[in-house]
Amino acid sequence: MKLLIYQNHSCFLNDIYEVCTEKNIAYDVFEWNLNDCNCDELFQDRFVKAVDGSKYDAVLSINFYPAISTACMKKNIKYIAWCYENPLSGMNIETSLNNSVNYVFLFDKMQFWKYIQKGFETVYYLPLGVNKTRLLNISLAKSDWQEYTADVSFVGSLYN
């Protein structure tokens, strides 16, 4: 398998690179600052040139970008979006969310069910993952374990 990974400076990308390497998944990185996550003509042109002549099984991004989905449709290449944003950002996101090349993974079951009930067939539920190898290699002093140990921990804010 070979992936083209969209580099959007997400904090999760280093873990994804490490896991791909660990699992022998080949990948290249495509770095671009989208002017408009819905439609960026210059991005479309550069993206099409980047995938021409290369054999990628899929494009992977952290979060869903309609401009990437549209570009993947043009090249008939699978688009995997692993989303940690809730709700998904971008205007008119639903116009490209059901593109046949999409595999949009949402960590939030309520958001997942919202799109399923609207008839979207390209969204899937997937909890957020972790780089187990990296986390198991973290070494903490006993005093740190005592200070930061908890039965339950929340990061961020709760929402409906």
Averaged pLDDT for residues 3-10? 88
Q: DSSP for the chain, please give it.
A: -EEEEEE---TTHHHHHHHHHHTT-EEEEEE---S-SS--HHHHHHHHHHHTT---SEEEEES--HHHHHHHHHHT-EEEEEE--SSPPSTTTHHHHT-TTEEEEES-HHHHHHHHHTT-SSEEE------HHHHHT----HHHHHHH--S----S----
pTM: 0.84
pLDDT above 60 for 160: no
Return mean pLDDT, the chain: 87
Percent of the chain with pLDDT over 90: 42
**pLDDT tens profile 27-72:** 999 888 777 777 778 888 888 888 887 789 999 999 999 889 988 9
